[in-house]
Amino acid sequence: MKGFEFFEPTTLAEASRLFAEEHAQLLAGGTDLVIGMKALAETPQSVISLQNIPGLAGITSDADNGISIGAMTKVREVELSVDIQQHHTALAEGASEIGSIQIRNLATIGGNIAHASPAADTVAGLLVADAQVDIASADGERTVSIDELFTGPGQTVLVPGEIITRFRLPNPASGSHYIKHKIREVMDLAFIGVAAAVNLDNATITDARIGLAAVAPTPIRATEAENLLKGNEPTAELLEQVGEAAAAASSPISDLRCSAEHRKEMVDVLTRRTVQQALGRASG
Amino acid sequence: MAKHPVTLTVNGDEHDLLIEPRKTLLAVLRDTIGLTGTKEGCSTGDCGACTVIVDGNAVTSCMVLGVTASGKEITTIEGLASDGELHPVQQAFINTGGYQCGFCTPGFIMASKALLDEDPNRSEEEFRHALGGNICRCTGYTKILEAILQAAAEIRETT
């Protein structure tokens, strides 16, 4: 690992100013950055730790605004939060899919998202929760919807000096689910990640959200598939159309781990399965 | 690059150190403090050999910068036994022969200790899943799992 200057600011404004400099990197949990620095894929001149800035970690919940997750909240805490398990099951399930317990005790949800891997395990759950991402810089604050955050693999709309501070989840689902297509039970990357969240009124689907990870340059919502569900009662035929629409929305690549054709086919299968699970939870 | 003053509490002992920011917690424990019980395996967080407990949570110390552990309570394999008495997990590893070459053992024991502190009532399947971040290169998993189940049973009986 190359040497670097290390900073531990205690305010967001100070962190933002340091981060706006050239060749600066933010350190959250370190599970991506430290490994990247060891491999010399990352050679920052300054590393800015966020852990001493008050208020960035923790999960809060209130009746008006729903659940809010600080960016420095450990992934393990997201996984074990009873509120998140209950109202945003897909997100808790996604968090539980990351690495090992040892890694989840270090990794933060903000880091998982800011790293902007299309295969991030918390991203599909945040997409179907309609997460609002609070961003701060020395110049002020702004909020971006999670589906507008990513611009490409490893790329986001964040400009130098901007720091993700919080994820707000205003819309709890009555049922949601996340499926990670993988080989190993743990410590694997997603070939495909699919999350679905639904709200039901008796048997009618009043709202539906589907999030896809690892099947496009950025994580995406399958909006056409969602629209097919809204206002309808679920049938086998409808679910087939939904699966096909989700597959059509994907644009996967072929890589070492599997082919684009396989990924596309599996988006269809897994979307049907995920929606069905979410529906089961919503009606159960 | 400037070195940073840090205070690490390791196995109850305070260490005031001046360390380079690029040193991982693993390197600080082994090379600076001289506690070589914690092992370096893959150095990418995949094998779990470097597992230590920081503020009650098991973490892979190869992914932690030592400077970020300042002020935290760290427990390594050297800190588990008290007054010559082994921790139940350590004793169970001996009873069952839960080690072969021994390289992964400190990591497995520290990961298991944290799991047992959290909840000794896990099923066999849950323990297997929860230990997925630890790899035994001798592939001696059967005895490792036996050791953890034995320690869990003992802890349940005595608490």
| Chain B interface, best mutation among A101, A184, A185, by max B CB count within 10 A | A101
A237 to each of A42, A205, A230, A231, A241, how far by Cα in Å? 49, 15, 15, 15, 7
Q: Which domains does chain A have, with CATH numbers?
A: 5-49 (3.30.43.10), 59-169 (3.30.465.10), 175-283 (3.30.390.50)
Closest CA of chain A from B68, distance in Å: 8
Instruction: Check residue A64 and give its pLDDT.
Output: 82
Residue B46 has its nearest CB partner, among A30, A51, A187, at A187
pLDDT per position in chain A (284 positions), as tens?
Answer: 999 999 999 999 999 999 999 999 999 999 999 999 999 999 999 999 999 999 999 999 988 889 999 999 999 999 999 999 999 999 999 999 999 999 999 999 999 999 999 999 999 999 999 999 999 999 999 999 999 999 999 999 999 999 999 999 998 999 999 999 999 989 999 999 999 999 999 999 999 999 999 999 999 999 999 999 999 999 999 999 999 999 999 999 999 888 999 999 999 999 999 999 999 999 97
How is chain A classified by DSSP, letter by letter?
----EEE--SSHHHHHHHHTSTTEEEESS-TTHHHHHHTTS---SEEEE-TTSTTSS-EEEETTTEEEEETT-BHHHHHH-HHHHHH-HHHHHHHHTSS-HHHHTT-BHHHHHHTT-TT-TTHHHHHHTT-EEEEEETTEEEEEEGGGTEEETTEESPPTT-EEEEEEE----SEEEEEEE-SSSSS---SEEEEEEEEEETTEEEEEEEEEESSSSS-EE-HHHHHHHTTS---HHHHHHHHHHHHHH------SS--HHHHHHHHHHHHHHHHHHHHHHHH-
What pLDDT, on a 0 to 100 scale, did the predictor assign at position A256? 87
> Structure tokens of A218?
């950025």
Q: Which two tokens stand for residue B103?
A: 């390289």
Could you tell me which CATH class the domain B4-79 is placed in? alpha beta
Q: What mean pLDDT do residues B115-122 have?
A: 97
Question: CB A27 to CB B65 under 8 A?
Answer: yes
Q: Is a pLDDT exceeding 90 seen at residue B52?
A: yes
**β pairing state of A150-152 and A155-156:** antiparallel
For the segment B1-20, the average pLDDT, to the nearest whole number, is 96
pTM of full prediction above 0.90: yes
Q: What are the CA-CA distances from residue B109 to residues A126, A187, A206, B20, B102 (Å)?
A: 35, 19, 50, 29, 11
Is the pLDDT assigned to residue B1 strictly greater than 80?
A: no
The pLDDT score that the predictor gives to residue B44 is 97
pLDDT at A197: 98
B88-158 to CATH, choices 1.10.150.120, 2.60.120.620, 3.40.640.10, 1.20.120.1200: 1.10.150.120
Determine contact: A49 vs chain B, CB below 8 A. Answer: yes
**Tokens coding B15:** 């260490």
The band of B56, judged by pLDDT with boundaries at 50, 70 and 90, is very high
Test mutation, A18, A48, A72, A100, chain B, max B CBs within 10 A: A100
| Whether B98 contacts B142, CB under 8 Å | no
Per-residue pLDDT tens for A219-274?
Answer: 999 999 999 999 999 999 999 999 999 999 999 999 988 899 999 999 999 999 99
- Output the pLDDT for position A284: 79
Of B4, B63, B134, which has the smallest distance from its Cβ to A106's Cβ? B63
Contacts of A3 in chain B (CB under 8 A): 1, 20-22
Taking CA–CA distances from B49, the nearest residue in chain A reads A102
Give the mean model confidence (pLDDT) for residues B102-107: 97
What tokens were used for B141?
């998993």
**Average pLDDT for residues B112-129, to the nearest whole number?**
97
**Rounded mean pLDDT of B103-116?**
98
d(CA A81, nearest CA chain B) in Å: 15
CA distance to partner chain B, nearest, from residue A5 (Å): 6
Domain extent listing, chain B: 4-79, 88-158
The ipTM is: 0.97
Residue type (1 letter), B114: A
Interval B44-51 mean pLDDT: 98
**What would the 3-class secondary structure string for B86-118 be?**
CCHHHHHHHHHCCCCCCCCHHHHHHHHHHHHHH
Residue type, A150: F
